């Protein structure tokens, strides 16, 4: 059984899965597009050159799977304003060079603002404990998986000088936007295994029923992804809008109920703008009123006027990140890719983050 006990990088199994995939796509008999929504999946696909073994009729597209890339300019402005107001802003390294409407946190640091890179929210808590006379804000980015760690800290009585500026995002809401788009023609989805460890695979059932597109939950090894594509094309071939889980070693139907309880105690979904994409109903995770005491937006009067550019375009001239994240273009379609836009001097958000598609393709190559 190809879906059982995968030896994750075994060439013989890879060949068998590629043949099964070809068989399914041949049986469908026309070109089809499927989407994954995860930077880690794209890293594995590009790093192992998986697109090279896909059938010609199968387009594997990355959707809005990079939480840094979709953090909106005005959200970055809030963190920059806080840093310039004398608050110590801690964040993950990927967020440092992400531009707001005018400045990034790296710019704020160069201008004398207090900015600290941390590897975890726990490290931000340590900083707050070490400096009790100073306000420390954790600029919290990432999808629901990362939000669980932020929620755990909020629930564990953090020090009184610690608070959270949440720009956490909720992936299922973005899948709805892609599915509703008339321009994309996505017929099936590969869902991220790490998020599904928390949410369980059943969370995708209403989506599959409503959109008519099957969803397969996948792990991050090359054979996990190939197995997911085989299963997905099988469901598409049989016109079954169902959810399948080819990552059973980690993901269950119901997920981690304790983590879900923590997440929804601390956060609630709200409508928020995703950079380059749209207003996403239910796409942002804000702190609930019960956690107002750790909510930086309630604790501080954040004045972004001195750091924002009212007339700023959402994307830099020539940057097509929004189209890339919606699956309408690839980095190869951008005239700046690898020329004026490189990881050392990124023009757009998709080149800033290690989970952005432009950055990944620049590192590993994209379509051979
Ligand atoms: Fe934007 Fe750079 Fe990607 Fe082009 S290569 S879409 S400029 S991030």
Query: For residue range 340-358, what is the model confidence (pLDDT) as tens digits?
Result: 999 999 999 999 999 999 9
Look at ligand 1, atom 3, and give the residue with the nearest C-alpha: 358
Please name the residue whose Cα sits nearest to atom 8 of ligand 1.
348
Residue 161's CATH number = 3.40.50.11740
Domain of residue 292, residue span: 73-170+256-307
Render pLDDT for 287-298 as a digit per residue (tens, 0 to 9). 999 999 999 999
Q: Do 23 and 142 fall into the same domain?
A: no
Ligand 1 close to Cβ of residue 336 (< 6 A): yes
Q: Which atom of ligand 1 is nearest to the CA of 358?
A: 3
What is the per-residue pLDDT across 224-259, written as a single tens digit (0 to 9) for each? 999 999 999 999 999 999 999 999 999 999 999 999
Q: What is the pLDDT of residue 238?
A: 96
Q: Which atom belonging to ligand 1 lies closest to the Cα atom of 335?
A: 4
Confidence at 3, pLDDT banded by 50, 70, 90: low
Q: Ligand 1 centroid vs 230 CA: distance in angstroms?
A: 31
Q: Is the CB of 347 under 6 A from ligand 1?
A: yes
Torsion of CA 134, 103, 178, 361, to 10 degrees: -110
Closest CA to 310 of 170, 102, 108: 102
Domain end call among 290, 307, 324: 307
255-278 confidence digits (pLDDT tens): 999 999 999 999 999 999 999 888
Sign of CA dihedral 199, 214, 325, 17: positive
Q: Is residue 350 part of a domain?
A: no
Q: Does the pLDDT of residue 4 top 70, yes or no?
A: no
Q: Are residues 47 and 178 in the same domain?
A: yes
Least confident of 198-202, 204-208, 325-329, 330-334: 325-329
Count of domains observed in the chain: 2
Q: Are residues 78 and 159 in the same domain?
A: yes
Tell me which DSSP letter residue 113 carries. -
β-strand pairing of 278-287 with 168-169:
antiparallel
pLDDT tens track for 14-47: 999 999 999 999 999 999 999 999 999 999 999 9
| pLDDT for position 2 | 52
**Judgement on whether residues 28 and 136 belong to the same structural domain of the protein:** no
Are residues 50 and 82 part of one domain?
no
- Verify whether ligand 1 is closer than 6 Å to residue 352 (CB atom): no
Helix/strand/coil for 332: helix
The alpha carbons of the chain give a radius of gyration, in whole angstroms, of 21
- 101 within some domain: yes
Q: What is the mean pLDDT of the chain?
A: 93
């Amino acid at each position: 059984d190809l879906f059982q006990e995968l030896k994750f990088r075994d060439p013989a199994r890879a060949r068998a899965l590629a043949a099964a995939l070809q068989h399914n796509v041949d049986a469908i008999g026309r070109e089809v597009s499927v989407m994954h929504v995860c930077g880690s999946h794209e890293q594995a696909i590009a790093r192992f050159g998986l697109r090279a073994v896909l059938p010609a009729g199968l387009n594997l597209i990355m959707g809005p799977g990079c939480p840094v890339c979709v953090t909106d300019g005005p959200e970055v402005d809030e963190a920059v304003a806080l840093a310039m107001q004398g608050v110590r802003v801690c964040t993950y390294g990927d967020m440092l060079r992400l531009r707001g409407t005018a400045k990034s946190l790296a710019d704020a640091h160069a201008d004398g603002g207090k900015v600290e890179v941390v590897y975890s929210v726990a490290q931000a808590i340590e900083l707050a404990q070490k400096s009790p006379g100073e306000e420390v804000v954790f600029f919290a980015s990432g999808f629901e998986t990362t939000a669980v760690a932020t929620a755990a800290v909020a629930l564990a009585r953090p020090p009184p000088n610690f608070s959270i500026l949440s720009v956490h995002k909720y992936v299922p809401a973005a899948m709805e936007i892609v599915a509703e788009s008339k321009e994309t023609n996505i017929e099936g989805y590969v869902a991220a295994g790490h998020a599904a460890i928390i949410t369980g695979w059943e969370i995708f059932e209403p989506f599959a029923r409503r959109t008519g597109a099957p969803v397969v939950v996948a792990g991050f090894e090359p054979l996990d992804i190939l197995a997911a594509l085989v299963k997905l094309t099988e469901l598409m071939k049989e016109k079954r809008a169902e959810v399948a889980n080819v990552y059973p070693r980690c993901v269950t139907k119901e997920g981690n109920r304790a983590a879900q309880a923590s997440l929804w105690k601390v956060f609630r979904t709200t409508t928020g703008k995703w950079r380059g994409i749209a207003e996403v109903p239910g796409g942002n995770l804000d702190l609930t009123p019960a956690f107002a005491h750790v909510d930086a937006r309630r604790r501080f009067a954040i004045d972004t006027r001195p750091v924002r550019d009212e007339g700023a375009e959402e994307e830099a001239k020539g940057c097509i990140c929004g189209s890339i994240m919606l699956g309408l273009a690839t980095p190869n379609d951008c005239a700046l890719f690898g020329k004026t836009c490189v990881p050392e001097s990124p023009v757009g958000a998709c080149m800033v983050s290690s989970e952005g598609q432009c950055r990944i393709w620049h590192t590993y190559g994209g379509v051979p």
